[in-house]
Structure 1
Amino acid sequence: MKAVIEKWNSINLVTRILVGIIIGVVLALTVPDAVSGITILGTLFVGALKAVAPVLVFVLVINALASHVSGKATNMKTVILLYAVSTFLAGFVAVIVSFIFPTELTLKTGAQEIAPPSGVMEVLQSLLFNIVSNPVSAIMNANYLGILAWAVLLGIALKASNDSTKTMLANLSDAVTKIVQWIISLAPFGIMGIVFESIATTGIEALREYLQLIVILVMTMFFVALVVNPLIVFIVARRNPYPLILTCLKDSGLTAFFTRSSAANIPVNMALAEKLKLNKDTYAVSIPLGATINMAGAAVTISVLTMAAAHTLGIEVDIFTAVILMVLSAVSAAGASGVAGGSLLLIPLACSLLGISDDVAMQVVAIGFIIGVVQDSCETALNSSSDVVFTAAAEYAKERKK
């Protein structure tokens, strides 16, 4: 048995994940009734990632700041700028695509009862309250802005601590990182369970009615991932961006696609950043921050579905309104929750800009949940993989200037 485990672990993780996907599809098509026995693997895997991620972020950020040597520069300003630019450009592309390929929706009654934000100020207010959240509550509820705020404060305060304290923090950081590696090694089994559950409960044919909308969303996200983001990286780093882009999509995007949670994918991104040998002082902060505010995929979803609602109702959207929608989509996307379906709750906010009622907007949200099997998976893959892309791009840009 030990030899079998060692042989299995020697296989590339992506290859093992692909094997898990294939097995999950086969089992879903052959024994779809065996739900409880197989889906528990996916539930346990995502649960483990979500459980360890807040602790990982809290410990890594404290250790990075406490051990930071004065005068040792990080790239956070560049990373945050890249996050903002990419999110706005994603919303821009989505609005343009919506003009070129107008989509109309079949609105239905009985939209889900969900309380969306009433305005941009509510989104910003929510972000501010998250920052000043109780640290224990922040960790328990995976409130990453709160976790980051407390970790930054403690890290700065502990810079004056003695060497033994800093050594303890480093050892604790290494220990939590090791636990993350153990969990990630179980990804093939977890993803097998997730794939099985998606196909067995939803069915491959369930999304046919909304195929056009899904194609527009997915192709727009692909364009952002394979054209817009590489262009940003090239402009900043002046190097071929595709080796980095493809590596991040393979090692981060694939896992994020199935977990459908930017928060759950933080440990995966941390491991990838270490693999790329990026500056730990930077990625320990930029990765969890990106899971909260770097939401290009969410900007695409908000823009496309809002424009689809406008086309359905025959609302003419002029250029000035379209520009405002782009900005609003980018700001709203930054407030989207790092969990599955978070961006959908902000569609009514964007719809209100066009004078679309909450009743219609919530029906659009309901459609978003119907297509969420594909939409949210692609959105999360784009969001999460680009966290590492722009962290790496900022570091490459710094190296180029030396």
Structure 2
Amino acid sequence: MKLLNTWNRISLVKQIALGLAVGVALALLFPDAAEPLAIFGELFVGALKAIAPVLVLLLVMSSIASHKSGQQTNMKTVISLYLLGTFLAALVAVIASFIFPVDIVLTEGAEDLTAPGGVAEVLTTLVLNVVDNPFSALYNANYIGILAWAIVLGIALRSASGTTKTLLANFSDAVARIVGWVIRLAPLGIMGLVIDAIASNGLAALLGYGKLLALLIGCMLFVAFVVNPLIVFVNIRQNPYPLVLRCLKESGLTAFFTRSSAANIPVNMTLCEKLGLDKDTYSVSIPLGATINMTGAAITISVLTLAAVHTLGIEVDLATAVILSVLAAVSACGASGVAGGSLLLIPLASSLFGIPADIAMQIVGVGFIIGVLQDSFETALNSSTDVLFTATADYKNGLREGKKLNVQDVFEIEKPSKGLMKS
């Protein structure tokens, strides 16, 4: 018990770092003996994916059912930030691809996959997910469908009795507590995920695509540490980096290893609660962000498409490049409605330059090879930005109400009573 109490006093981030170090050491020094431990990673991600849909349904439904008329939720600001961030990320990727053009060796391996035929098909899939059967949506972790049913049921329950609303709140709190138990197992789970990644893929396969990976990761880091902070600064007029760094540390780190925005929804919910954000806002904005806030996906689509363009020697003018930015942003917003995520949207963007489908699918094959790092960075950027922009909207609303705030406080805030602002 003394050892357990000492372990619990260590912050979760330090526990995760320790799990990461142990996982790398075991995978490199004792690969055969360590391989069975990869099951811990599967169990951790599986548990998060299992509980996240139920949490989103109950939390959003309870929040809307108990919402008081006229109460500010900041959702318009959050959605605007999501869309702006995704477009700017795509634009950064396009500009970087022109400054640092990359030629790649095409590969096979994705011919059996079916890419969407156009933006209309991507958006149609997304819209159809809204009217999915609620039980099917829960079973398949269709978050846009879950979100839609939670909103509709929440509105319908606005006139329910106080006892019913209390019951909903109790169920929501119970599921949130279960999520907390699962998250405490993150160090063990991430140890298993690291062992699995090194054992299954290794790093040798990535060396042949080093320049492409450097461009992808460089764009994502630039967006995370330059573009997103600028967006936050424009809105709150304070040093944005304390908030940016905390979101990356507590949300981006776990998303990097789980490689699933859906699995990271409970982590983001917990971080929003620690930051004291408005529950009526984040209970909707976080699951919505996992669907439409796809900054990393927009970068992946743009960079890999333009890598194909440069490899094939196709001339691209500025107007077409800007259209690619818009197309990548729109497609990225619909990535969750397409099996295979952002990589399967590359043929759609490639068609803008007349690249044949068979060549485009070879680019998708390259994407799968580098996916062990590309997808990790992409998910970390996507997920951490969900919390960052939700917090920014909360800050901005506080400024409109004339409250004083100090962004430096986000490093000390754990569970303040109400609001991120210091009045």
Structure 1-normalised TM-score? 0.98
Q: One-letter code of the match for 2:107?
A: K
Aligned to 1:380: 379
Alignment of 1:390-401 (within 5 A): 390-401=389-400
User: Contact 1:309–1:364 (CA<8 Å) still a contact in 2?
Assistant: yes
Alignment of 1:169-184 (within 5 A): 169-184=168-183
Q: Distance in 1 between the 2:374 and 2:338 partners?
A: 13
Which deviates more, 193-202 or 2-11?
2-11
Task: State the shift of 1:196 in Å.
Answer: 0.7
What does 1:2-401 align with in structure 2 at a 5 Å threshold?
2-34=1-33, 36-337=35-336, 342-401=341-400
Question: Cα deviations across residues 301-321 of structure 1 (Å, max 9, x unaligned)?
Answer: 000000000000001111111
Paired residue type of 2:377: C
Q: Compute the displacement of 1:223 (Å).
A: 0.3
Runs of at least 5 residues in structure 1 that lack an aligned partner in the other structure: none
Segments of 4+ in structure 1 off by > 6 A?
none
Structure 2 CA distance for aligned equivalents of residues 344 and 187 of structure 1: 27
Distance 1:111 1:330 in 2: 23
Preserved contact between residue 249 and residue 381 of structure 1 (Cα < 8 Å): yes
| Inter-partner Cα distance in structure 2 for 1:206 and 1:106 | 13
8 A contact 1:336–1:346 mirrored in 2: yes
Contact 2:125 2:338 in 1 (8 A): no
Q: 3-state DSSP class of the match of 1:400?
A: helix
CA distance in 1, matches of 2:109, 2:27: 29
Q: 1 CA distance for matches of 2:262 and 2:108?
A: 32
Q: Tell me how far apart the structure 2 counterparts of residues 286 and 96 of structure 1 sit (CA, whole Å).
A: 29
Residues 33-59 of structure 1: CA deviation (Å, up to 9, x unaligned): 235521100000000000000000000
Tell me which moved more, 108-117 or 352-361: 108-117
Cα separation, 2, equivalents of 1:369 and 1:221: 18
Which of 199-208 and 346-355 deviates more? 199-208
SS in 2 for 1:114: coil
Cα offset for 1:141? 0.4
> Using the alignment, how far apart are the partners of 1:340 and 1:146 within structure 2?
15
> Does structure 1 conserve the Cα–Cα contact (< 8 Å) formed by 2:75 and 2:285?
yes
Output the CA distance in 1 between the equivalents of 2:203 and 2:340.
20
Supply the RMSD in Å over aligned alpha carbons. 1.2
- Report what 2:415 is aligned to: none
List runs of 5+ in structure 2 lacking aligned partners. Answer: 402-423
Amino acid at match of 2:393: A
Provide the aligned length of Structure 1 versus Structure 2.
Answer: 401
Q: Deviations over 1:307-339 (max 9, x none)?
A: 000000001111111111000000000111289
Displacement after TM superposition at 1:203 (Å) = 1.5
Q: Distance in 2 between matches of 1:286 and 1:163?
A: 25
CA distance in structure 1 between the aligned counterparts of 2:29 and 2:340, rounded to whole angstroms: 29
Paired residue type of 1:374: L
Query: Which amino acid letter does the alignment assign opposite residue 158 of structure 1?
Result: L
Secondary structure at the aligned position of 1:368 is classed as helix
Alignment check: 8 A CA contact 1:263 1:339 kept? no
Match of 1:253, as an amino acid?
G
SS at match of 1:236: helix
Deviation at 1:3, TM superposition (A): 2.4
| TM-score (norm: length of structure 2) | 0.93
Within 2, Cα distance between the matches of 1:26 and 1:260?
21
Identity of aligned residues (%): 65
Q: Is the 8 A contact 1:341 1:369 kept in 2?
A: no
Q: Which amino acid aligns with 1:213?
A: L
CA distance in 2, matches of 1:93, 1:168: 47
1:266 counterpart letter in structure 2? I
Q: Which amino acid in 1 is paired with 2:391?
A: A
Please say if residues 262 and 338 of structure 1, whose CA atoms lie closer than 8 Å, have aligned partners that are also in contact. no
Task: Report the secondary structure of 2:209's partner residue.
Answer: helix
Aligned partner of 2:407 in structure 1 is none
Check 1:249–1:136 CA distance in 2 against 1; reply closer, same or farther (3 A cut): same
What is the CA–CA distance in structure 2 between the aligned matches of 1:191 and 1:216, rounded to whole Å? 26
Alpha-carbon distance in structure 1 between the residues aligned to 2:369 and 2:57: 35
Which amino acid letter does the alignment assign opposite residue 152 of structure 1? I
Task: Rate the CA distance shift 1:341–1:379 in 2: closer, same or farther, 3 A.
Answer: farther
> Would you say the 8 A contact 1:297–1:383 is kept in 2?
yes
